[in-house]
Amino acid sequence: MTGLRWGILATGGIAGAFAADLRTAGLDLAAVGSRSQESADAFAERFDIPRAHASYEALVADTEIDIVYVSTPHPLHHANARLALEAGKHVLVEKAFTVNRAEAEDLQRLGAERGLLVMEAMWTRYLPHMARIREIIAAGTLGDIRAVTADHTQLLPSDPTHRLNDLALGGGALLDLGIYPISFVSDVLGAPTSVRAVARLGDTGADTEVATVMTHAGGALSTTLSSSRAAGPDAASIIGTDARIDIDRVWYTPTSFRVVRPDGAVIEEYSSEVAGRGMEYQALAAERLIADGERDSDLLPIAESVAIIGTLDEVRAQIGVRYPNEEDHHG
C-alpha cells in the first residue's frame, strides 16, 4: 500500500518531534510550510523534506500532499485546519484540538461536508501500552471501575512572554497539559456527567495549576491535576473492584504499567519498546483509516474531541479563564 504524502504546517518543537518520528517510521514526509522561507528551508533541510513553502497557503495548495499536520499555537488550529480542509486535504490537528467547542464543531462539520478525515493528534491514544490497557479493561479484569486519577505536571518557563503563559496564545496549564489527563479520563470512563474545577492563576491570568473532579456514567469518579510550575510524578491509575492499573512516569508517553490485585499481587507487567517518541502511531492510524475509506478515528472520534473541548470550556468557565479574541459564542 502506498502511504499518504504528509505536509507539516509550522516548524516549532512539536513539529520537529513529529517529523522525526515520521522519518523513523519510514513515512512519506513530502512538504513543510512556514510563515517564512528561511524557517521552512531550515526545517526541510533538517528532516530531508523535498519541498519547503514560505506560507501556509502555499503548503495546502501543494498538489503533492494528501494530509496536513497542523502544529501551530492553539488559537491558530481552527483557521489553519480550515485552510487545509478547504484545499481538500485531510488534517491531523495538534492537541488541544481547538480553543473552544464552537471552533471544534466547525471543523467537524467542514470535514464531514468535504468527506475528509479530521483527527486530533492526541498521540497517547495510539500508543501500544494504551492499546493493551483497553484490552485489559474490555476483558473485565479490573471489575467495576470506580475511579481514574492522572496528573500532568511539569516545571516549565515562568517568563510571562512565553507562549505557555500568554493567554493570547492559549497559554496556561489546561490546553497544554490538562488536555492529556482529561482526554485519558474520557477514553476510560466516557464523557463526564458533572465537572468541578479549581485553579491557581499566574500573573498573566493564565492557569498555572488546575485540578478537576468529575463524575461519569455509572457513578465512577475521576481526578486530574495539571501544573506548569512544578514537576510531579506524571502517573495515572485506573482503579477497579478486582484490580487496578498503575501507569508509570510518564504515563502519556511509551512507558510501563502493572495490573495489581487488591491484595497487592501483580498479575501483569507491561513495558513499551518504541523506536522514537511514539508520535508515528497516530500517523499510521490516520493512513490506515484513509486507506480503508474511513473518515473518522475509531480510537478518538471527532465527536469525542469536540466533547473534550466542551469539557475544557466548562473547566475554564469555572476557573475564570478566557482567551482574548474568543468569539462571543464561547460557553
pLDDT digits (tens, 9 = 90+) for 198-241: 999 999 999 999 999 999 999 999 999 999 999 999 999 999 99
Domain boundary among 122, 154, 179: 122
In a domain, 279, yes or no: no
176 & 111 share domain: no
> Are residues 264 and 315 part of one domain?
yes
Task: State mean pLDDT over 26-34.
Answer: 97
Whether residue 330 is predicted with pLDDT greater than 70 in this model: the reply is no
In-domain check, residue 294: no
pLDDT of residue 2: 61
Percent of the chain with pLDDT strictly greater than 90: 95
What is the percent of the chain where pLDDT is above 70?
98
| pLDDT value, residue 276 | 86
Taking 3-state DSSP, the helix, strand and coil percentages for the chain, each rounded to the nearest 5, stand at 40, 25, 35
The pLDDT assigned to 328 comes to 47
> Which of 90, 122, 154 is the C-terminal boundary of a domain?
122
Residue 138 lies in a domain: yes
* The predicted structure's pLDDT at residue 278: 96
For residue 285, tell me if it sits in a domain. Answer: no
115 shares a domain with 74: yes
Q: Convert the pLDDT of each residue in 267-306 to its tens digit.
A: 999 999 898 899 999 999 999 999 999 999 999 999 999 9
| Nearest Cα to Cα of residue 18 among 80, 67, 82 | 67
List CB contacts of 218: < 8 A, sequence separation 6 or more.
144
CATH number of the domain that 117 lies in?
3.40.50.720
pLDDT at 327: 58
Tell me the three cell numbers of residue 240: 477497579
Pairwise CA distance, residues 76 & 79, whole Å: 6
| Pair (172, 314) in one structural domain | yes
pTM of the complete model: 0.96
| Domain contains 226 | yes
Position 149 confidence tier, pLDDT thresholds 50, 70, 90: very high
User: pLDDT at residue 1 above 60?
Assistant: no
Predicted local distance difference test score (pLDDT) of residue 154: 97
CATH of the domain at 136: 3.30.360.10
DSSP codes of every residue in 311-324 = HHHHHHHHHT---T
Q: Same domain, yes or no, for 90 and 217?
A: no
pLDDT at 117 over 90: yes
Residue 282's pLDDT is 97
Whether residue 30 is contained in a domain is answered as yes
Q: Are 218 and 99 found together in one domain?
A: no
Single out the residue of 42, 87, 40 nearest to residue 64, CA to CA.
Answer: 87
> At which of 98, 122, 146 does a domain end?
122
Q: Does one domain contain both 143 and 264?
A: yes
Neighbours of 251 (CB within 10 A): 24
- The helix (H) or strand (E) run that includes residue 53 is strand 51-53
User: How confident is the model over 102-111, as a mean pLDDT?
Assistant: 98
In the predicted model, is pLDDT for residue 329 greater than 50?
no
In what helix (H) or strand (E) does residue 175 lie, and over which residues does it extend? none
Q: Is residue 145 situated within a structural domain?
A: yes
Residues 39 and 135 in one domain: no
Q: What is the mean pLDDT of the chain?
A: 96
* 42 plus 94 within the same structural domain: yes
Whole-angstrom Cα distance, residue 80 to residue 117? 15
Using alpha carbons, list the distances in angstroms from residue 127 to 132, 201, 255: 9, 32, 9
Same domain, 171 and 25: no
pLDDT at 99: 96
Count up the domains in the chain and report the number: 2
Residue 265's domain comprises 128-273+310-319
Counting Cα atoms < 13 Å in the Cβ hemisphere of 62 gives: 26
Asked whether residue 110 falls in the same domain as residue 173, the answer is no
Residues 261, 147 share a domain:
yes
Predicted confidence (pLDDT) at residue 157 exceeds the cutoff of 80: yes
In a domain, 45, yes or no: yes
pLDDT of residue 331 exceeding 60? no
